[in-house]
Chains A and B, each alone.
Chain A
């Protein structure tokens, strides 16, 4: 059972959460390939959306399904048994209006591992008519009959707008300060693999909450899956009424980290200092930067995450970021590919997107 902060509970059969641990009738665990095949057959039952625009609004079974499928891809990727023809003949377009080598590469790799034809399009947003470019590009892409459209844009809601225009399944790869759903899913997968569950944990999300789409998606995912979520940062970097999203708000790092299982650090962009939201980088690091001293206030086995790219010495000390005992930052990248494979695969089977 999973309890959500809305008070609803959801039945969650065992195989939901731990497909790879499910025993077959002979008592032996199913092979990664068999487990994966079983999950694929259930895709359309458990994930009911045409698109992946946001974590907000997803139900626990939908999230669990994506995580289970992603986990099976981790095993397949490691064993080298990935089926390379699942998306054969399907076209995936990476439409990036904002530079992001990491996310784009991750989606590209995910698409190619599944056998899709992957096309990368980077559109400069420095041109005068950003909006026209968005609509016009979408219309053009639609005429090309692409199946999966991955969109990154600096404006909140841009993928929602595109999803109304194009026939393809739209995947939000980060929009403005709204959401970054695949980042939250890969964070959840990373947590689940290390803590054995994605529920009942205390997670502290620290830093610039106002401008973070990663924070929003993580807040929605973690509260939906029954975790206790805290946001920690200076009041100038907290969005209005953030507590109504079901989180506890802390302005003191010591109190915010006390008893945390997971510490998620967010990137602080230098322009926030230029706009006067934070007086200086050194002041920020003094009070909100994560070093071993502050990390010692969390649980002894607390783990550290960061969506990257990091500002070392601003929000995180290198000694923590590079500590193999505590930092999951490198593993997050590996999980990113698996999660995106699961998302591409699931959406390509979703309502209206059948082959």
Chain B
């Protein structure tokens, strides 16, 4: 039995909720919230004056090291990092080893999440068997087992014909296809955004257009099939413009981005910094600004951590050989709040991008402040300062592209079903 908890004096933020007051958790659920609540017998009190209490964050895109890459991250270590980052629900990418293309593996991931006690894991299923891009995975069976959407993770479904089939077939199971939007043949061999900087460093480039080209193709396929698509970690102005137009036309399209794409630009890889080698690669400043603007204007539906754990051996290599990806669980909130502190985004909008909006995309009722809702909560000090330090982050993966970045916004406590799991 979890203890009952009364949060007092917090700024309570959730979908449609923005007030200063108290919030009462009874039996793992939100019993009540409002300007001033009485304290029931036996309830613990958390003094939350000057703090923000919001739903536990819903991270719609993260790679877990399990199964297959336990040297990078385990579910246990990812759960620790997630709790420290205020994340209580996480959608796990399927490009593990083995690939999540079998219903039993979907069950396994869900169960392993329950075992952590602090993190709900919502597994993605693979679009194609083995994420190889050759034949469709058993989308129906995977969906039945609890796969929340379908993606080949860090790989785009390259074949136009196969993508058409996936969009079309998944429609029958009310399932969304999540695409890594990058034309594979244009991106082949590249490791940085094609630009003056890549030219100076002598690194093979990936043109920004590789993203727009695949987005344009897939939008046309959505029109053809009536399917629905979600573009992950969108990073360029051109792709965002295409998505914005498609939304205006009423197509079933959504997208997310990740903190590096609105907080960093390509200069972060200067002097061959492999921790800033990501996929898609960090872009030019104009693209970064366009991503930040798309957060504010609603084109982007969610901010995901795009957590990609890597260990030192994956990264201590010449730049082109280093494995792309950055860890992001612990920094998801802080870097997103930077957009609030610089005035680009209102705090409630930022919280919605991290909670209710991704939850809605994933079809889960997490991410809300409502009477009777499960008490997954995150308590943070929005103005308190900390500095990101690779090597001192919670969890196993330390490959942050934000090493040294000062951030405002410290998670002080995380609750899962009313039980404190962090802080």
Contact = CB atoms under 8 A, between A and B. Distances in A.
Given A134-B318, A135-B316, A161-B318, A156 B203 contact: yes
A240 B319 contact: no
A175 B200 contact: no
Contacts of A177: 202-204
27 contacts: A132-B313, A135-B316, A156-B201, A156-B320, A157-B201, A157-B202, A157-B203, A157-B272, A157-B319, A157-B320, A158-B318, A161-B316, A161-B318, A175-B202, A176-B318, A176-B320, A177-B203, A239-B199, A240-B196, A240-B199, A240-B205, A241-B195, A241-B196, A242-B196, A242-B199, A244-B199, A245-B199
B196 A131 contact: no
B194 interface: yes
B199 A131 contact: no
Contact of A56 (B194, B200, B319): B200
A51 interface: no
A10 B204 CA distance: 34
Interface of B: 194-196, 198-205, 207, 271-272, 313, 316-322
A178 B201 contact: yes
The 8 lowest CB-CB distance pairs between A and B, nearest first, are A178-B202, A155-B318, A157-B272, A131-B317, A177-B202, A156-B202, A239-B199, A241-B196
Task: Name the residue in A135, A156, A245 with the highest tally of chain B Cβ atoms < 10 Å from its Cβ.
Answer: A156
Contacts of B318: 130-131, 134, 153, 155-158, 161, 176
Nearest to A216: B202
B200 A160 contact: no
Contacts of B322: 131
A104 interface: no
A213 interface: yes
Interface in A99-150: 130-132, 134-135
B202 A213 contact: yes
Nearest to B317: A131
Contact of A155 (B194, B200, B313, B320): B320
B265 to A, nearest CB: 15
Interface string A158-180: 10110000000000000111110
Contacts of A245: 196, 199-200
Interface of A: 56, 130-132, 134-135, 153, 155-158, 160-161, 175-179, 213, 216, 239-242, 244-245
A130 B316 contact: no
Contact of B272 (A56, A156, A244): A156
A175 B195 CA distance: 19
A213 B272 CA distance: 16
A157 B322 CA distance: 11
Contacts, number: 77
B202 A160 contact: no
Contacts of B196: 240-242, 244-245
Task: Name the residue in B199, B205, B207, B316 with the highest tally of chain A Cβ atoms < 10 Å from its Cβ.
Answer: B199
Contacts of A213: 202
B377 to A, nearest CB: 43
B316 A155 contact: no
Task: Name the residue in A135, A176, A242 with the highest tally of chain B Cβ atoms < 10 Å from its Cβ.
Answer: A176
Contact of A156 (B195, B207, B316, B319): B319
A135 B316 CA distance: 8
A213 B319 CA distance: 16
A175 B203 CA distance: 11
Contacts of A56: 200
Contacts of B313: 131-132
Contacts of A240: 194-196, 198-199, 205, 207
Contacts of A134: 317-318
Nearest to B272: A157
A87 B414 CA distance: 62
Nearest to B313: A132
A57 B193 CA distance: 22
Nearest to A56: B200
A216 B194 CA distance: 16
Given A155-B321, A178-B201, A216-B202, 14 more contacts: A131-B317, A131-B322, A134-B317, A135-B317, A155-B318, A157-B203, A157-B271, A157-B272, A157-B320, A160-B272, A161-B272, A177-B203, A216-B200, A240-B199
Contacts of B272: 156-157, 160-161
A155 B271 CA distance: 13
Task: Name the residue in A158, A179, A239 with the highest tally of chain B Cβ atoms < 10 Å from its Cβ.
Answer: A239
Task: Name the residue in B202, B313, B317 with the highest tally of chain A Cβ atoms < 10 Å from its Cβ.
Answer: B202
Nearest to B315: A131
Contacts of A131: 313, 316-318, 321-322
Nearest to B203: A156
A344 B194 CA distance: 35
Task: Name the residue in A134, A135, A155, A242 with the highest tally of chain B Cβ atoms < 10 Å from its Cβ.
Answer: A155
A244 B318 CA distance: 25
Contacts of B199: 216, 239-242, 244-245
Nearest to A157: B272
Task: Name the residue in A177, A213, A242 with the highest tally of chain B Cβ atoms < 10 Å from its Cβ.
Answer: A177
Contacts of B205: 239-240
A259 to B, nearest CB: 26
A134 B274 CA distance: 15
A160 B320 contact: no
Contacts of A157: 201-203, 271-272, 318-320
A234 to B, nearest CB: 16
